[in-house]
Amino acid sequence: MIKKILNFITGYVLVAIHGDGVDRFINICMSKKLHIWSIKKDKNKTLLYVSRSDFYKFDSFVEKTGVEISVIKSCGIPFIYEKNKKRKCFVIGFFIFLFLVWKFTTFVWDINISGEAGYSAEEIEKNIKQNYVKIGTKITDVNCSDLEKILRDEYSDIAWISCEIKGTQLNIKLTETILPEDIEKQSKPCNIVASKDCIISDMIIKNGTGMFETGAEVKKGDIIITGVVNIYNEYDELIETNYVPASGIVYGQSKMSYEDEFELSHYVKNYTGKKKEYYGIIYNDNLFEPLKYDMSYNNCDIITNYNSVRIFDTFYLPVTYKKTIVSEYEPELATYSEEEAIKKAKNKLNEYISALKKKGVEILQNNVKIYVKNDKCISTGYLVVKEIVGIPFELSTFEQGD
Amino acid sequence: MTRVTLIDQKKVYIDGYKTVMSIDDNKIAIDCKNKILEINGSNLSILLFTGIEMTVTGMISSIEWK
């Protein structure tokens, strides 16, 4: 392999030799220690490879042995250079291109965030771009371990985070804590109060005194864990009252009403097949779009895609490619069948439930009824949910002094 | 002294040759000072050589001293 690379760098020629003195010619080459290889007979001619420098020594042997030589192909960098000598601009442009590509590899052009759940990737990305790693920062200026530390401090719910630079992309992988949301630690004396009317289903007290038992019904604003801690002696006499920041996790069970309705008649988009495509390039927040949109369609969908220009998977360039497709459609009035309507309503309800689950709400019962009445699909009922209901509420001076 | 090393049926190393007498697709004859070494087979070629060593490749069927 190394030999092949060296041969390519120095250049080599595949030649065909004809005539009676071929064997003599080869023996002379051998005795003169010329660099020839892969000697092979092909019909009436002999093929061999010779290095570029030794090829020019052939002339004297050709006369001696009376053979004819024809060049079949010439390979290697010196020959490529010879061929492209006249195309100076092309060669210079090619090297400038190589230089720019190499130069661009030394900057961060894209940030990719994965593994987020509670936080949005856009939110984290925006924060990083504004405060820590701007797009176009030199890769050598990015300290991944420092960035990990900063992000871990800033986003308290991050359990694990890893930052690495692949190509020109800053990859951030994170895992958020899956433990139930802890109540923010308070430094001042406070109570834990109910955020809504509910039945207490579970309670973990870390600090303070519990005012209700599990299963008790509480109203919004009721103190569940108090920060007023009374200390009694053995004769049940109050000897001291301490005011502490109450803390703990209180789960409450409550009913959450769900109402939704939509008309059975609706418009469907019938695409006519007519569409127009527009292209643009964004560099350094400047958009270059040669064509303006033609808005001659009465009804149309405009879909725009932005793609970062990249070479391979992770080598991003500071150029974004914009593609806009304007598709014409004719609106047509349609009506959902009862089955279709119920299916759609169920899907909407499932989406609503999924969103609640993402927030950490547990669904205990689903009592939502879906039916069709007066050309409308109606979903009505309630969900029995279990969620964190205890929130800190600062102790008033009256309570403290009382 | 000439040393001939055969690897499978694909490669022959000849150490201590003098000249190449003939090259053909089916036969390569090499002058090894006192004797002639004939390599028979198909698709034969001289892969490379130095001043004293030579490598012949191809599908080798027989090697004969003549």
Instruction: Give the tens place of pLDDT for each residue, A354-376.
Output: 988 888 888 999 999 999 988 89
Q: Tally Cβ neighbours within 10 Å of residue B41.
A: 20
Write the CA distances from A392 to A43, A157, A178, A365, A395, integer angstroms.
96, 19, 22, 28, 9
Domains in chain B: boundaries: 3-65
Contact between chains at A41 and B49 (C-beta distance less than 8 A): no
Q: What ipTM, to 2 d.p.? A: 0.82
pLDDT (tens digit per residue) in A281-320: 988 778 888 877 777 788 888 899 988 888 777 778 888 8
Q: What is the pLDDT of residue A392?
A: 84
A4 close contact with B: CB closer than 8 A? no
Does the pLDDT value for residue B60 go beyond 90? yes
Residue A72's identity, in one-letter code, is I
Q: What SS3 class is residue B64? A: strand
* pLDDT bucket at A349, cuts 50 / 70 / 90: very high
By C-alpha distance, the chain B residue nearest A47 is B45
CA–CA dist B59, B53 (Å, integer):
20
Q: What is the pLDDT of residues A182-196, one digit of tens each?
A: 455 667 788 888 888
**A30, B23: Cβ pair inside 8 Å?**
no
CA distance A49 to B17: 21
pTM for this predicted structure: 0.46
**Shortest CA gap B8–chain A (Å):** 19
How long is chain B?
66
Q: Which helix (H) or strand (E) holds A129?
A: helix A121-131
- Whole-number Å distance between alpha carbons of A254 and A204: 18
What mean pLDDT is predicted for residues A114-136? 84
Tell me the fold of B3-65: Immunoglobulin-like (2.60.40)
Contact state of B23 with A42 under an 8 Å Cβ cutoff: no
Pick from B25, B47, B50: which is nearest to A41 by CB? Answer: B25
Rounded average pLDDT over A189-217: 87
Q: What is the reported pLDDT for A402?
A: 47
What are the φ and ψ backbone dihedral angles of B59, each rounded to 5 degrees? -95, 100
